[in-house]
Structure 1
């Protein structure tokens, strides 16, 4: 891959008041909900995975990235092997829709980070599309319209659309994750034993609550995402702190797909 290809990094996202501050976000100022109260919002369940993206260069070459780097191989890309296989399987279909104009961002959820998912609809869950020609991110409605010819692309869960006036209204949306079932800890422990992993160690590195990680909030107007914010449960961040490790340095524990789901 040419080193001259520009990578379109996903923008950093500010926390709103009351959110637990994640490592690496300490320099971002908290935003008061009053700053966007009453505007049209799209609120999504925030997923705990790896930020990835799919795009093409002007020659039609498939480009896969995670955060600030292209996926070009190496031992630390082990969790992305299936992502590469899946994206390459659908290269032609993706090119027909994205061309060299759009960057499709999504959460890659194969490897457990802090949350263990038992009922995923896919390992890749898209959440944003950048129009490289305008520099703007498409609204949820425009994304859905663009992706309609791609039924194999699954989007994140939208919890609410419309105006919100208070922080209490917003945080009331945090509940049981749509992708964790009641037996998740039993399933996780059985998974660890089958892989010869230290069960207690893995549990220490896991948020044992069935609650969603938090919320991702978009202010959408004129068909574009104008602003973006996040709210993360403080108890989720405490689990990360208590684990005393980073998910990249742990053995891979695969999250589970919902029964009946096929990737290809």
Structure 2
């Protein structure tokens, strides 16, 4: 296994009803992993999955190339790094650059921060339970992603959440069990959440022909009164 500070965030499968699959995406075959459990549903943000460690910050791939849009997160990490315990990783969505979905005050979805956390990994490479995750975010002064549901999984939950998504303002949502989740390993599971975490993504969520990094960087907007200083 790679050093704990160099691991990618595991690949997340789509929920059975997710309309936003691309050619290389996979779909969870059923909702069985969530039945009878407390689940946390958070908004899926249209940004860049990013990791913070005490040593460095990197996008989904630890060897991701440098890009001008990542200057903000580098400064943010420099301010947070000394407070992240040795061997721990923070996972979150980096939202400075506009991808396919715009976050603006006019649309009513302006951001509370350019980095929103959604996971914390401990030194034994376990994703903390949700309550412990929020405690760590509070200690580190990291804003979490918006929570859409916190409670038991029940029939109809995903359909209700999907119906409430505004595709002009929201990318989708992610469902996870509230319990701690080990980093997925072993034959057929390595590096991918086949149970415990899955996502719903809006239809046609990739709205451009070229990758966002190939054009000019267009910053998303922050909520009124929120400083853009990392």
TM-score by length of 1: 0.71
3-state SS, counterpart of residue 173 of structure 1: helix
The question of 1:173 aligning with 2:192 is answered no
Tell me what 1:50 maps to.
48
- Residue equivalent to 1:156: 145
How far does residue 65 in structure 1 lie from its aligned partner after superposition?
0.6
Match of 2:30 in 1: 32
Do the aligned residues in 2 keep the contact of 1:128 with 1:137 (CA within 8 Å)? Answer: yes
What SS does the aligned partner of 1:231 have? strand
Equivalent-residue separation in structure 2 for 1:134 and 1:23 (angstroms): 33
CA deviation vs aligned residue, 1:110-137 (integer Å, no higher than 9, x gap): 1111110021000010111111x22210
Residue of structure 1 equivalent to 2:69: 79
Which residue matches 2:94? 108
Distance between the aligned counterparts of 2:208 and 2:103, measured in 1? 18
CA distance in 2, matches of 1:69, 1:215: 25
Q: Distance in 1 between the 2:213 and 2:13 partners?
A: 24
| Contact 1:14 1:31 (C-alpha < 8 Å) held by counterparts | no
- For 1:18 and 1:260, how far apart are their aligned partners in 2? 38
Which residue is equivalent to 1:17? 16
1:126 to 105, 112, 117: 117
Q: Distance in 1 between matches of 2:131 and 2:43?
A: 17
CA distance in structure 1 between the aligned counterparts of 2:32 and 2:126, rounded to whole angstroms: 24
**How much does 1:21 deviate?**
4.5
Give the Cα separation in 1 of the matches to 2:68 and 2:7: 22
C-alpha change, 1:136 and 1:249, in structure 2 (3 Å) is: same
Runs of 4+ in 1 over 6 A off after TM superposition: none
The 1:149–1:243 alpha-carbon spacing in structure 2 relative to 1, beyond 3 Å, is: closer
Asked if the contact 2:16–2:27 (Cα under 8 Å) also holds between the matched residues in 1, the reply is no
Report the CA distance between 1:70 and its aligned residue: 4.3
- 1:225 is aligned, of 158, 174, 181, to 181
User: Which residue among 112, 130, 150 is the counterpart of 1:140?
Assistant: 130
| 1:67 alignment partner, one of 60, 63, 86 | 60
Paired with 2:150 and 2:99, the residues of 1 have a C-alpha distance of 28
Q: What is the TM-score normalised by the length of structure 2?
A: 0.81
How far apart are residue 17 of structure 1 and its match?
A: 0.7
- Unmatched tracts of structure 1, length 5 or more: 57-61, 178-206
**More helix per residue:** 1
Distance 1:35 1:143, change over 3 A: closer
- Structure 2 portions without partners, runs of 5+: 105-109, 183-195
Larger radius of gyration: 1
| Secondary structure of residue in 2 paired with 1:147 | helix
CA distance in structure 2 between the partners assigned to 1:82 and 1:169 by the alignment: 36
Cα pair 2:111 2:221 within 8 Å, conserved = yes
Rounded to whole Å, the distance in 2 between the matches of 1:35 and 1:41 is 10
Distance in 1 between the 2:165 and 2:177 partners? 24
